[in-house]
Amino acid sequence: MPGRTLGLVVMALVALAGCGPGGGGGGDDGGGMRLRTRSRGATEATCPDGSTLTYETFGREFFEAYCVRCHDSQLATVGERNGAPLGTDLDTLAGVEMHLEAVDSAAAAGPTRVNLYMPPPSSSAIPSDAERDQLGEWIACGAP
Ligand code: HEC
């Protein structure tokens, strides 16, 4: 827990530094100031030529690490799912595809914003902004 708190503090400092009046900037980390928020919204991520992210190279591992402890089709009750709604199952690609837009606005990042709605802040494993960027890219590429 202390380690994660420290990590969050460091991330907040990095985010603040990125927002400094550096002038000219824009080049670092996808371009200057980004909204980091628990409110949900479109990431405006785009699919770069030659993106290598697929469910096999990225998605499965991401959802297993950060989502499936609550959003698993094997968990039958809301209680077992730590309150996650029944039917929002992210343990297969088909399940993810059914909720692609909601996943994007809950957990992905892009040039203008970092969506921090999911996982809940109290969750034991939280993805980095870089991983959220990858999620945004993967979804923008059509979740291959
Ligand atoms: C610790 C448990 C937990 C984890 C881990 C978790 N969620 Fe959730 N999720 C919830 C709960 C509880 C809700 C419902 C309450 C709410 O919407 O705030 C929810 C709701 C959602 C919804 C909204 C469903 C709807 O129809 O409104 C989406 C989408 C979602 N989660 C995606 C994710 C993604 C993607 C991850 C991983 C990056 C994730 N969740 C990780 C507990 C969790």
Q: For a ligand 1 pocket test, name from 88, 124, 128 the mutation site with the most ligand atoms within 8 angstroms of its C-beta.
A: 88
The confidence band for 33, taking pLDDT boundaries of 50, 70 and 90, is confident
Residue nearest (by alpha carbon) to ligand 1 atom 7: 119
pLDDT value of position 41: 95
State if residue 48 touches ligand 1 by the CB under 6 angstroms criterion.
no
pLDDT value of position 4: 53
Which pLDDT tens digit goes with each residue over 101-110? 999 999 999 9
Q: What residues contact residue 19 under an 8 Å CB cut-off, 6+ apart?
A: 32, 33
More confident residue, 49 or 20: 49
Q: How far apart are CA 115 and CA 135, in angstroms?
A: 11
Q: How many percent of the chain have pLDDT more than 90?
A: 77
Domain ranges for the chain, please list them. Answer: 51-144
Confirm whether pTM is higher than 0.95: no
Is pLDDT above 70 for 95?
yes
Rounded to the nearest 5 degrees, what angle is found at the Cα of 124, between the Cα atoms of 70 and 86? 10
Q: What residues contact residue 39 under an 8 Å CB cut-off, 6+ apart?
A: 117
Tokens for 125, please give them. 């494993």
